[in-house]
């Protein structure tokens, strides 16, 4: 059903899930995920409060459950693709990620991510962003995939650099951090998979 160069109703575009990587199962955020995601957000609050503006709206588990349900609706409507990554062995929630701010005419997708504190520094963000990059080009016929980070977010910059994205440039005063500071934003992109580190990534075809 996927035909991204016509006026296909986006709801008919296939987005095969789950995505399997060596260590993770990645699938859309769904109703019922609220409790585990809330727990991971609480664990990771300090880092999230530094970089993720949505943390200011994070109040209680019901809010998080609402976010999961809306995300699932948006996934079905093909308006946004928020995904959660779970450890294949323990089944524990590891990270949130997704393809955002896309439209099906340009087929340019933006990857975002955060990893729960207890799982940071183990290469998970790099594994997830690699997988979503492959998925974007091979399953969704992406023309471009971008990742951005706020000025000063070195951990995110390292993920992007390790994946060989090209630097597009700096947009001045483009990001409002949770504390209200306005900072520059750095954008990186790929237009193909050339040079992307090897990774065994699968999804249903
Ligand atoms: C950014 C983030 C997603 C990285 O997740 P992660 O799973 O720890 O990332 P990875 O382990 O795949 O890779 C991170 C790399 O950055 C390095 N790194 C981590 N913190 C760093 C820091 N403060 N400064 C410099 N490098 C750092 C790690 O050592 C690693 O590099 P290495 O593999 O060469 O050792 C995580 O720190 C996070 O969730 N931060 C809060 C939310 C956020 O900032 N999201 C990104 C918004 S653009």
Report CA 35 to chain centroid distance, whole Å. 20
Q: Is the CB of 51 under 6 A from ligand 1?
A: yes
Q: Is the CB of 153 under 6 A from ligand 1?
A: yes
Atom of ligand 1 nearest to the CA of 128: 12
Q: Is the CB of 125 under 6 A from ligand 1?
A: yes
Closest protein CA for atom 3 of ligand 1: 114
Instruction: Indicate if the pLDDT at residue 3 is higher than 80.
Output: no
For residue 153, the number of C-alpha atoms closer than 13 Å in the C-beta half-sphere is: 25
Q: Residue 90 carries which DSSP code?
A: T
Chain segment 164-183, per-residue pLDDT in tens: 999 999 999 999 999 999 99
65 CA from centroid of ligand 1 (Å) = 26
> 10-203: which CATH number, 3.50.50.60, 3.40.630.30, 3.40.640.10, 3.90.110.10?
3.40.630.30
Q: Is the CB of 197 under 6 A from ligand 1?
A: no
Chain segment 33-69, per-residue pLDDT in tens: 999 999 999 999 999 999 999 999 999 999 999 999 9
> What is the greatest pairwise CA distance in the chain?
44
Per-residue confidence band for 8, with pLDDT thresholds at 50, 70 and 90: confident
CB atoms within 10 A of CB 160: 25
User: Residue 18, preceding bond cis, omega within 30 degrees?
Assistant: yes
Per-residue confidence band for 205, with pLDDT thresholds at 50, 70 and 90: confident
Nearest Cα residue to 187 out of 145, 144, 148: 148
Alpha helices (H) in the chain, listed in sequence order: 34-51, 61-76, 124-139, 154-162
pTM, whole model, 2 decimals? 0.94
Alpha-carbon distance 74 to 133, whole Å?
20
Q: Is the CB of 188 under 6 A from ligand 1?
A: no
Q: pLDDT > 70: what percent of the chain?
A: 97
Helix crossing, 34-51 with 61-76: angle to 10°? Answer: 100
Domain boundaries, the chain: 10-203
12 CA from centroid of ligand 1 (Å) = 35
Atom of ligand 1 nearest to the CA of 127: 12
Two structure tokens written together for 204:
């249903």
153 CA from centroid of ligand 1 (Å) = 8
Chain segment 66-118, per-residue pLDDT in tens: 999 999 999 999 999 999 999 999 999 999 999 999 999 999 999 999 999 99
């Amino acid at each position: 059903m996927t035909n991204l160069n016509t006026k296909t109703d986006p709801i008919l575009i296939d987005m095969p899930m789950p995505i399997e990587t060596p260590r993770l199962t990645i699938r859309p955020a769904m109703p019922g995920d609220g409790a585990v995601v809330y727990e991971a957000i609480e664990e990771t609050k300090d880092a999230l409060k530094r970089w993720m503006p949505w943390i200011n709206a994070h109040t209680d588990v019901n809010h998080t459950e609402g976010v999961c349900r809306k995300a699932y609706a948006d996934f079905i409507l093909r308006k946004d693709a928020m995904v959660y990554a779970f450890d294949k062995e323990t089944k524990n929630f590891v990270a949130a990620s997704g393809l955002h701010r896309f439209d099906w005419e340009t087929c340019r997708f933006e990857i975002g991510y955060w990893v729960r504190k207890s799982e940071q520094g183990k290469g998970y963000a790099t594994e997830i962003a690699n997988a979503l990059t492959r998925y974007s080009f091979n399953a969704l016929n992406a023309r471009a995939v971008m990742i951005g980070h706020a000025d000063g977010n070195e951990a995110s910059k390292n993920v992007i650099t390790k994946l060989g994205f090209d630097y597009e440039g700096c947009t001045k005063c483009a990001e409002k951090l949770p504390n209200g500071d306005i900072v520059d934003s750095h954008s990186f992109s790929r237009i193909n998979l050339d040079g992307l580190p090897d990774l065994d990534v699968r999804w249903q075809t």
